[in-house]
Structure 1
Amino acid sequence: ILYHMGIVYTNLENYPQALAAYQQALSLSRTLGTRETEGDILAGMGKLYDTQNQSELAITFFKQSVNVREGIRKDLKVLPVEQQQSFTDTVAEDYRRLADLLTQQNRNLEALRVLDLLKVQELQDYLSNVRGDDNTVDGITELTEEQEILKGTQPIIDQAIALGQELSELETIPNHKRTQTQQQRIIQLRKNQAQLTKDFQNFLKSPEVEARLAKLRETTEAENLDLKKYAKRLQEQLQQLEQDAVILYPLVLDDRLELVLVTPYAPPIRRTVKVKQKDLERAIKNFRRLLANPARNARTPAEQLYDWLIKPIEADLAKANAKTIIYAPDGKLRYIPLGALYDGEQWLIERLRVNHITALSLTSLDNKPTPQLDVFAAAVTKAHTIPVGEDESRYFAPLSFTQPEVESLAETLPNTTTLIDKQFHGDTIYQMNDYSVVHLATHAVFKKTKQDSIILFGDGSHVTLTEVEEKWDLSNVDLVVLSACQTGLGGELGDGKEILGFGYLMQNAGADAAIASLWSVNDKGTQALMNKFYQVLKQGNVTKAEALRQAQIAFISSKVGSGFEHPYFWAPFILIGNGL
């Protein structure tokens, strides 16, 4: 109740009363040990100070909220399902708000860390049981001044907890049974409680806190040891890849787009693009619509999106001599291929490799692939109708080019086992871990919930992403290819969590990387592109990301025959995970 009173008072702009309610709620939640509520209250305090344009205090409380919640995620699997769900409902929005505040202050390293944790949180929203690990449990570094402010509030909260415990015990005694001493003590404790609330407010307005906030405004991230280590680790990761790689994290906000770029030899760079979310999303939807029709020219929206996503960092990419973009898209940006952006003269993929990731903290970028290419290749050719819900069914059209696709693959790579139609069924998943590459030329549909997202088998049965999560072991697999996936069906674009979720599930099952298509190209085009991809990969000393890029360039330059130059044919294929 106190927490909700804090929200109401904030909305009514009665800020002292809001803070009083939050402080009492915080003391109570710590007494009861309800960490989810504690995280919500701290985020509420962050919003309260953000509303009053007190960014440093807002960041301090939002950060503590993030760290409480990341601590919870470590133990998430032991929580009941309904508590898991309540944990995920509003958290992503709070992470986004903190990243917004940090980018406004040019605190780019901290923003990058929050953006990474936001990706993990979005996976949690989609999959429900993404557990924290050693990379996420520490949350986000609290700067020295922030720690001191929080330390200053602690004695007041400790007193409030002790006082609250005594008061609640006395209040359990019915009125008519209380002694005079007990009644006097209750009155005194309530007075003390009111005084502690006042002390809490006064401390946050005190000259000591003001001095610390002023220092925060002047402090650079480079002065913090933990952030220095984090920056160094990111830069070393990029250097060790030897791919001239940079990391790009866009953040889509209501009033602007923030681009956070990490390069191998410099601190993170932030570029702000003045484009409203609704305008960006309109352009994404239009681009996606034109990409899906090879008879339409997609270059105009491709150029507009290039101007928003790449042009602001063009000079930074050139300075870093970038050849690879490791890309963690945000929201609806997940539905469009970065490589299909157009600079007025050429497509981005002609200049740069693109390697998607779910989140940095969940991706091992430097695992080297197995030299030997042993391939498990399955194809579904026939039409199937499968039940969906009680009274509905879904029809899947025949895929006439999938059999030639896997047969051609077997010619290119002799160590290939092919399974056609009924040979590919639910039990064959237990063979997949004997191969370095798993290639599935079948219908796969990724929708807004993992229960509705399916991969079709050749005998007409199917597996949902929920079952993939439970049953698939791909710990020996370097690459999973799904060559006929569909996302954003019927032009309905969500927030792209299903694409993020698929990539994570493949990694979580043990695979280093996955290639998926953002839309299905039921055409010999897919066969030709996959054929070219494996021909390049077979050469050795070529990364998966580069092999995919070369296959796409072969289409653009008509080297695989004319008629495939439109991005409809080559652009849907994206690589998620380790691109080596």
Structure 2
Amino acid sequence: MGTVAAVLLLWGVAGLPGVAAGDVVPVRLVQGQTAEELDAEAQRLYDRGIQHYQQGQFREAIEAFERVLTIFQEIGDRESEGTILNNLGRVYRHLGQYPQALEYYQQALFIRREVGDRAGEGTTLNNLGLVYYSLGQYPQALEYYQQALAIGREVGDRVGEGATLNNLGLVYYNLGEYPQALEFYQQTLAIDREIGNRTGEGTTLIGLGAVYNNLGEYPQALEFHQQALFIHREVENRLMEGATLNNLGLVYNNLGEYPQALEFHQQALAIRREIGDRAGESATLHSLGVVYYNLGEYPQALEYYQQTLAIDREIGNRTGEGRNLIGLGAVYRNLGEYPQALEYYQQALAIVRELGNRPMEGTTLNNLGAVYRQLGKYGEALDYLQQALAIRQEVGNRAGEGVTLDNLGLTFFHMARPAKAEQHFFAAIEVWESLRGGLTDDNKISLFDTIAFTYSYLQITLIAQNKTETALEIAERGRARAFVELMALRLSGQSQEEFVPPPPPTLAQIRQVAQEQNATLVEYFLVELEEKYGMVENKLYIWVVSPTGEIAFRQIEIADILNNASLAELVDSSRIAMGVRGRGLGVQPRDAIEIVPNPGTLAERRTSRLQQLHQLLIEPIADLLPTNPEDRVIFLPQGELFLVPFPALPDADGTYLVEKHTILTAPSIQVLELTRQTGRGDGETGGRGEVLVVGNPTMPTVQLLSGETLSLSSLPGAEREAAAIADFLGTEALIGDAATESTVLERLPQANIVHLATHGLLDDFGYGIPGAIALAPYGNNDGLLTAGEILDLKLNADLVVLSACDTGRGEITGDGVVGLSRALVTAGVPSIIVSLWKVDDAATAELMQQFYRNWQESGDKAQALRQAMLTTMQQHPE
């Protein structure tokens, strides 16, 4: 009788550095020999056991293997008995029952040595290493792996050699020795591809992805995991599919894309519970706890951490236990329950030091330092944080290094040592910005939103030292970075691989932009920090840069003006009072309540709220703005301020800002400069002289994520507007069925003026619809021209008008407003006019006709729009 072939794949649990996180990285068992003369009943049972194992049906696999074991023991086939004992050990390890797994492996090792089965001996040594790895006993695991590797090479077992190299990579990954881990994984990948081992290849790709995730190299991490997921689904390996899905969730969590992270973790959890993978279930429960922790939903995080801690203690997973103690400590720290937090962290520190897990040790030391800082014990805080920083730099954990540098900066700030705080915040920003290379546009935005507070910390620290101009550089450095890089990439004509992003502008370059624009630049920065970030701040910073290069700074306490009200609430209520939903798709937040005040109070409320915004945003700098109403003022908002209708802000006397100034807005100074580099000024055009006007298309039906169907109403006022504009511009408007998405897409690149009067989508409110413009559906086109589709175009228009209320808003992120206006600018349009509040249909048509008339006469879009607004205000004072 010959020995029965072993199955290859298992996984292990490792600690992921960070606030408190978990990771699942796959490991492999070594293949044994093929059976030659096996009893038919034993072969049938063995095949059944293998099938159950591969499908994750571990209890059924145990039953089949135990029956095969009885047959081999009865007939005295010691070699095959050793193989079945090895397989039983493998299944019990998957169930997290490590003592039973060790017992079976030790029996298998004794038999294989007895019969001189060198290949089988190497298999079992490898698998014993896996158990000790799972128990967090890395020195013992390394010892068994080294023995297994020597035997595998001696007998020429390439599969076994690759498996052991993979597992060595996993140990070094958990020890934080990432270069060694990468070296072992690369050797494994070469062997897997050489021998055509698809399952092994997928396993190794997960390991590589996990290392790159911990190194903060997220594009590579996503790429390796996506490759692995494809392979494991192709070979129908549910066990490894679950591991890969969980790891993808970890990468998206690090990027701050929490909905995607939750989606991947929930998929992984379902698979792991379905197949009875206890250790994998524990790891995914912990990962879910981490996401809810990052979302600030601490009760849910506690629930997940408690569940996974119970599982890890039940199965003897010391690494998992340490990981969950870190998570529990982090939750109690953010709840302000510092004694409990310290207790959990100290328990975790003892475990991770016992295991020699350097990344988790760095995490625990960092978190201990954060607690002592919050307790005002700055000496202890610095001691722990310096230890954490040394470890994180040693193991190459860039994201962890950034976190610890932030904590050191905060500690020095609270110690009234702003110069040292500045040094560490600058270092943290350098780290965060190094993580952006190669990410997609969306991922860059998400990553920035998770670390934006570092820029706030640094500005507070600089202003505390009266370094207001350097703070302006940081304000500019911390805004619209993904937008800038996307625009610069388009302008460069280079491939993504060749492209080097432009550095943030210096003070000299900021002054130069003001001079070239011949405008006064007004840059706002909102500092809204909660206690969980180490300090409470609610301030508004304003810099005013004159065309002559002079820079002035003003600092405003928001609470003093708003009486502790929320700025976001004030902006939103102002927009509602102005009737901002005039031509939006009508999709409101699920919890929104529409309040219709009586007409007498509506105007009063609108004026009061807009005057409050004027008091906050304009009055502190009114003396710095030009006195000539034709001089340009370019506002550079941030956060909620992107939604402020600056021209409509009235002063205490009721005079609107547009009556005093010619107003433009932009997301950043650097975007202004890149727009100028398109080479088209106010009087120039880049298209072929065509005009595209669209009004009241045959409306599409929108399918919401909930399954609900939304029928869009017809807009006869928009049709009249489009007809009047088209007649004035000497063209024919696309109306009704003629305004199809395909026709508009075909004509957009050739047009130099585009006027769209139709429904526009504000944002998705969680319904899953991207920013879009409603057009007529036809054929395969759904009639929704999305921001994503616009980004794929190369436009030559000098001007696009979005005459649909709220069309241009989009989602507010640290990158500015991510919506249609951003997409159009990136696609090459230097100027966009967007409606921000409701205007009567007749007044809208008159306003736009007057604008085009003024523009034809003056060649200056900003002046033309201002004069058109003033004329319309006189004719329609309400």
- Structure 1 unaligned spans of 5+: 141-229, 559-563, 567-580
CA distance 1:87–1:384, change in 2 (3 Å): closer
Question: Cα deviation per residue 1:519-569 (whole Å; 9 max; x = unaligned)?
Answer: 454622222211111111121x332111111111111222xxxxx323xxx
1:569 maps to what in 2? Answer: none
Q: Letter of the 1:396 partner, please give it.
A: L
Select the residue among 611, 633, 646 that pairs with 1:325.
633
2:864 maps to what in 1? Answer: 547
Check conservation: 1:136, 1:361, Cα contact below 8 A.
no
CA distance 1:399–1:250, change in 2 (3 Å): same
1:482 maps to what in 2? Answer: 802
CA separation in 2, counterparts of 1:4 and 1:320? 59
Select the residue among 475, 479, 483 that pairs with 1:115.
475
Q: Is residue 246 of structure 1 aligned with residue 520 of structure 2? A: yes
Larger Rg: 2
Q: Percent identity?
A: 24
Q: TM-score, normalised by structure 2?
A: 0.48
Select the residue among 442, 446, 451 that pairs with 1:91.
451
Select the residue among 378, 382, 385 that pairs with 1:15.
378
Question: 1:446 is paired with a residue of what secondary structure?
Answer: coil
2:681 maps to what in 1? Answer: 368
CA separation in 1, counterparts of 2:641 and 2:450? 21
| Alpha-carbon distance, 1:422 to partner | 2.5
CA separation in 2, counterparts of 1:512 and 1:52? 47
CA separation in 2, counterparts of 1:335 and 1:249? 15
Select the residue among 457, 464, 470 that pairs with 1:104.
464
| Alpha-carbon distance, 1:399 to partner | 0.9
Check conservation: 2:807, 2:820, Cα contact below 8 A.
no
| Alpha-carbon distance, 1:42 to partner | 2.2
CA separation in 2, counterparts of 1:15 and 1:84? 34
CA distance 1:359–1:22, change in 2 (3 Å): same
Q: Is residue 296 of structure 1 aligned with residue 603 of structure 2? A: yes
Check conservation: 1:487, 1:519, Cα contact below 8 A.
no
Q: Letter of the 2:841 partner, please give it.
A: D
| Alpha-carbon distance, 1:457 to partner | 1.2
| Alpha-carbon distance, 1:515 to partner | 1.5
1:473 maps to what in 2? Answer: 794
Q: Letter of the 2:575 partner, please give it.
A: R
Question: 1:248 is paired with a residue of what secondary structure?
Answer: strand
CA distance 1:123–1:139, change in 2 (3 Å): closer
CA separation in 2, counterparts of 1:521 and 1:502? 20
1:399 maps to what in 2? Answer: 715
Q: Letter of the 2:721 partner, please give it.
A: E
Select the residue among 264, 267, 274 that pairs with 2:557.
274
CA separation in 1, counterparts of 2:837 and 2:772? 14
CA distance 1:103–1:503, change in 2 (3 Å): farther
CA separation in 2, counterparts of 1:268 and 1:4? 44
1:515 maps to what in 2? Answer: 833
Check conservation: 1:263, 1:320, Cα contact below 8 A.
no
Answer with 366-375 or 417-426: which moved more: 366-375
Question: 1:547 is paired with a residue of what secondary structure?
Answer: helix
Question: 2:479 is paired with a residue of what secondary structure?
Answer: helix
| Alpha-carbon distance, 1:236 to partner | 2.6
CA distance 1:138–1:69, change in 2 (3 Å): farther
CA separation in 2, counterparts of 1:457 and 1:465? 13
2:48 maps to what in 1? Answer: none
1:463 maps to what in 2? Answer: 785
Select the residue among 819, 822, 839 that pairs with 1:504.
822
CA distance 1:439–1:286, change in 2 (3 Å): same
CA distance 1:538–1:456, change in 2 (3 Å): same
Select the residue among 570, 586, 594 that pairs with 1:283.
570
Report which of the two has the higher share of helix. 2
CA separation in 2, counterparts of 1:505 and 1:513? 12
CA separation in 1, counterparts of 2:811 and 2:739? 31
CA separation in 1, counterparts of 2:440 and 2:815? 20
| Alpha-carbon distance, 1:433 to partner | 1.2
CA distance 1:4–1:422, change in 2 (3 Å): farther
CA distance 1:465–1:109, change in 2 (3 Å): same
Check conservation: 1:399, 1:522, Cα contact below 8 A.
no
Q: Is residue 355 of structure 1 aligned with residue 664 of structure 2? A: yes
Q: Letter of the 2:615 partner, please give it.
A: D
2:877 maps to what in 1? Answer: 565
Paired residues for 1:68-467 under 5 Å: 68-77=431-440, 87-120=447-480, 138=503, 230-242=506-518, 245-253=519-527, 254-276=537-559, 278-279=564-565, 280-292=567-579, 296-297=603-604, 298-318=606-626, 323-343=631-651, 344-364=653-673, 366=676, 367-369=680-682, 371=684, 374-414=690-730, 416=731, 418-428=733-743, 429-447=745-763, 451-459=769-777, 461-467=783-789
Paired residues for 1:31-42 under 5 Å: 31-42=394-405
CA separation in 2, counterparts of 1:77 and 1:264? 36
Select the residue among 386, 389, 394 that pairs with 1:26.
389
Question: 2:803 is paired with a residue of what secondary structure?
Answer: strand
| Alpha-carbon distance, 1:319 to partner | 7.8
Question: 2:754 is paired with a residue of what secondary structure?
Answer: strand
CA separation in 2, counterparts of 1:26 and 1:76? 25
Check conservation: 1:92, 1:122, Cα contact below 8 A.
no
Check conservation: 2:812, 2:818, Cα contact below 8 A.
no
CA distance 1:87–1:29, change in 2 (3 Å): farther
CA distance 1:136–1:493, change in 2 (3 Å): closer
CA separation in 2, counterparts of 1:8 and 1:392? 49
Question: 2:424 is paired with a residue of what secondary structure?
Answer: helix
| Alpha-carbon distance, 1:137 to partner | 5.1
Check conservation: 2:667, 2:816, Cα contact below 8 A.
no
Q: Is residue 54 of structure 1 aligned with residue 330 of structure 2? A: no
Check conservation: 1:410, 1:418, Cα contact below 8 A.
yes
Check conservation: 1:103, 1:258, Cα contact below 8 A.
no
RCO comparison, higher one (Cα < 8 Å, 6+) = 1
Number of aligned residues: 460
Q: Letter of the 1:256 partner, please give it.
A: K
Q: TM-score, normalised by structure 1?
A: 0.70
Question: Cα deviation per residue 1:395-447 (whole Å; 9 max; x = unaligned)?
Answer: 32211122222222222222x35322322233231321111122111111131
- Structure 2 unaligned spans of 5+: 1-359, 491-495, 528-536, 581-598
Question: 1:255 is paired with a residue of what secondary structure?
Answer: strand
Report which of the two has the higher share of strand. 1
CA distance 1:483–1:494, change in 2 (3 Å): same
Answer with 503-512 or 460-469: which moved more: 460-469
CA distance 1:419–1:383, change in 2 (3 Å): closer
What RMSD over aligned residues (CA atoms) do the two structures have, in Å?
3.6
Check conservation: 2:663, 2:862, Cα contact below 8 A.
yes
Q: Letter of the 1:427 partner, please give it.
A: S
CA separation in 2, counterparts of 1:273 and 1:316? 15
CA separation in 2, counterparts of 1:356 and 1:444? 20
1:157 maps to what in 2? Answer: none
CA separation in 1, counterparts of 2:497 and 2:471? 19
CA distance 1:114–1:77, change in 2 (3 Å): same
Question: 2:714 is paired with a residue of what secondary structure?
Answer: coil
Question: Cα deviation per residue 1:189-231 (whole Å; 9 max; x = unaligned)?
Answer: xxxxxxxxxxxxxxxxxxxxxxxxxxxxxxxxxxxxxxxxx33
CA distance 1:494–1:122, change in 2 (3 Å): same
Q: Letter of the 1:402 partner, please give it.
A: A
CA distance 1:286–1:85, change in 2 (3 Å): closer
| Alpha-carbon distance, 1:282 to partner | 4.2
CA distance 1:510–1:438, change in 2 (3 Å): same
CA separation in 1, counterparts of 2:721 and 2:817? 24
Answer with 55-64 or 494-503: which moved more: 494-503
